[in-house]
Structure 1
């Protein structure tokens, strides 16, 4: 979860006031949870599915808070085929915000709510690959017209505005619409979680192992961790995800690398027997979803939750790719970033056309390094994939995932260690 401090003021489009934060049992449970994969979004979906069948009040609470994210004239996702995996692939957006109605001043006084974490999850039609694409909060892009559901205020189209302004412009639906516009991906499902949800999630799984290449000290985030491996939970886990000025090169992109390392470890933790065979942990995960998440109406039914979760059961950790949306420094907005073309177009075309891809061995980003200093072997870089090509499933060369040079991220199987900013 991203930290919101004085230097992270969101820049508004001309004519708009600036909005910013001032600090800104084999068992049925095992069968339902063992396939949980990809990112925080999927972890919470699977846990919500278990809870929906465990207790009625969990289900009712999830449904009562659901948000309609459909656009006028759009076709909603088809209902799931009973209790079974969803047919084909799907796209879901998970959003992390820096504020909720119950946190008070626990994380600093905030005069606005920012969508500081934006992860687009794509699962392939054959349920053999998944991509968790993180879009930087400071990504300056056009934003569509949106209406704030709480105030009724309508914001017109904007030609250039940071992504994390979208929540204030129109809540979860506006974020979905904005991300869909910049990526070209139709998004049928969405969920939103705040700081308290991250704390509760890390507590529910009994802590998440993290590796540090050097001691990590950030007094501003109340974080002090030794070199090597630590198991973190609660407020420490949140501080680890929020820290910026003690990680990598102190950029928000380094923080994203650090967050991806945490999510990969969280994924491995949730898929382990220590979680899957523990009914208390499964129930706690369900309560996280009910108490700390807001779902789209398309996701709030238990059948939909289970259908999406079941579609993930056969995805190997090596085929779960956490990747950053390609960006370069903005030419017009200091401290912000803009899409890196044509790399961003190439990546989005591959995702839209359900084409698997690999990352280069040295692609983990400035915020982390591979644990042990080794690299996971991958195929040699290949020519850019033809987005209109149709793969022949009988041809091994046609089904191999090409390496896309220039992308930053890691797989769910890779263990990485956070790098402290030199001197910290």
Structure 2
């Protein structure tokens, strides 16, 4: 952890804010982390499993209703994800609702906005995964939903128009993907899950000072949990350019570290942490009906368990400022998005041109990776069989295109879970 000039430890200030326009709630938790965590269901006792599953709240998606109609007509029921060797599309939504969350997050402003919208795609062969974050201010066509929609607006209005099912329909229209699994998480879920982990180490490159969320962090690495973790994920004014786009890249710093923490041996072998994470998630999330099955959650976990973290990539949906959208909002970059989703639909791994974004930079103190004898070799680099081999040498960089990876346009920002990055404060 970084230190003040006088040697004292940095602090993260938090508490109820009384500003007239508090920052919109940004609650985020990686769906992949939830899935990995719930693999604990394989080994926990029957009572523990009942305790977790009895806490689950479910909601129906439009596709759930269609499946029920098909089944009632005598069609074969859709196979559970554990019964097929296939991919996964799962939408995770962070709601800004304060309902039932206590008064520590400011007054409820009415309505319910999906200020975090993330799509997790796992490839059919489970060799790679992509997480796409959709900016809350992205102006899109919200389709006709069961309770509203049918107009153009920022994507974060979709939740208030028809609940989680409407947000799923909106992202399906944007991505061209079918999304059978979805989950909604609120403030307390982020706090309890970070507490169950014992904190997520987050690197800060420049001072983060945000009076709106009460976050103050000096440069250094901070094990964030509880209200401090939530404040970091919510901060917009304190990072990058002060926009939601900067907040997304700062969140990716947290998420990549979270995945490394969840998949570490110290977590996967700790029953207390696993059970605490599963319980925290189940108690603070609304799950679509097909995701709420413990068997489904465990099978999704198993598809992620052995994935190379360099093949788990976080990206922001490509966007740009345009004259036709309201001030402060962004328009979809359809050309770059077409490249991104063509790769996802083809189950190809993706990579960004350079790790980092508006509010994140590579960590100069990242662990040094030594040579891996099994690492792929760039066929374009000639090999001298008589040359001595240094076992401690770093392997030559591999051309991503030569290994079947789609390198995204420079306008697409993000990083892989293997990239160590630091959040940058807003001057």
TM-score of the superposed pair, with normalisation by structure 1? 0.80
1:225 to 207, 217, 226: 217
Structure 1 7/334 Cα, relative in aligned 2: closer, same or farther at 3 Å?
farther
1:281 to 268, 273, 281: 273
Q: Does 1:235 find its partner at 2:227?
A: yes
**What is the CA–CA distance in structure 1 between the aligned matches of 2:405 and 2:416, rounded to whole Å?**
13
3-state DSSP class of the match of 1:269?
helix
Greater C-alpha radius of gyration: 2
The aligned residue for residue 330 of structure 2 is 337
Q: Deviations over 1:288-334 (max 9, x none)?
A: 12210111001111111111111112210000000010000142211
- 1:69-80 mapped onto 2 (5 Å cutoff): 69-71=61-63, 74-75=66-67, 78-80=78-80
Alignment match, 1:157:
150
Q: 1:72 to 1:233 in 2, by over 3 A?
A: closer
Deviations 1:29-58 (A, max 9, x none): xxxxxxxxxx71121133345358533132
- Whether the 8 Å contact between 1:138 and 1:162 is mirrored in structure 2 is yes
- Structure 1: give runs of 5+ residues left out of the alignment: 10-20, 25-38, 148-153, 381-395
The separation in 2 between residues aligned to 1:275 and 1:289, in whole angstroms, is: 16
Deviations 1:149-183 (A, max 9, x none): xxxxx32411x111110111111111101111111
| Residue correspondence of structure 1 range 272-421 to structure 2 within 5 A | 272-331=264-323, 332-361=325-354, 363-372=355-364, 399-406=403-410, 407-421=412-426
Match of 1:92 among 79, 90, 93: 90
Change (3 A) 1:379 1:185: farther
* Structure 1 residues 7 and 340: CA distance shift in structure 2, 3 A: farther
Report the secondary structure of 1:372's partner residue.
Answer: coil
2:195 matched residue in structure 1: 203
Aligned partner of 1:122 in structure 2 is 121
2:38–2:274 Cα contact (<8 Å) kept: no
Q: How far did residue 274 of structure 1 move?
A: 2.1
Deviation at 1:374, TM superposition (A): 8.4
1:105 paired residue number: 103
Secondary structure, in 3 states, of the residue corresponding to 1:342?
Answer: helix
Shift of the alpha carbon at 1:414? 0.6
| Contact residue 197 and residue 293 of structure 1 kept, 8 A | yes
CA displacement at 1:207 relative to structure 2: 0.1
Query: In structure 2, how many angstroms separate the alpha carbons of the residues matched to 1:163 and 1:328?
Result: 15
Against the structure 1 CA distance between its residues 374 and 270, is the aligned structure 2 distance closer, same or farther, given a 3 Å change threshold?
closer
| Equivalent residues of 2:253, 2:422 under 8 A apart | yes
Alpha-carbon distance in 1 for matches of 2:347, 2:95: 29
- TM-score normalised by L of structure 2: 0.79
Shift of 1:86: 4.6
Deviation at 1:7, TM superposition (A): 6.7
Could you report, residue by residue, the CA deviation over 1:35-92 in whole angstroms, capped at 9, with x for unpaired residues? xxxx711211333453585331321222xx21111348845893337xx575111100
How many residue pairs end up in the alignment?
368
Give the distance between the partners of 2:310 and 2:260, measured in 1 at CA: 11
Question: Could you tell me how far 1:244 is from its partner in structure 2?
Answer: 0.9
Report what 1:16 is aligned to.
none
Taking the aligned partners of 1:193 and 1:74, their CA distance within structure 2 comes to 25
Q: Secondary structure at the match of 1:91?
A: strand
CA-based RMSD: 3.0
Tell me the alpha carbon deviations over residues 353-395 of structure 1, each in whole angstroms, 9 at most, x when there is no partner: 212222112x411101000088999999xxxxxxxxxxxxxxx
User: Contact 2:194 / 2:229 at 8 angstroms: preserved in 1?
Assistant: yes
Distance 2:180 2:291 in 1: 9
Deviation >4 Å, runs of 4+? 5-9, 72-77, 373-380, 396-399
2:170 equivalent among 161, 172, 178: 178
C-alpha distance in 2 between matches for 1:283 and 1:156: 39
Cα contact 1:376–1:414 (8 A) shared by 2: no
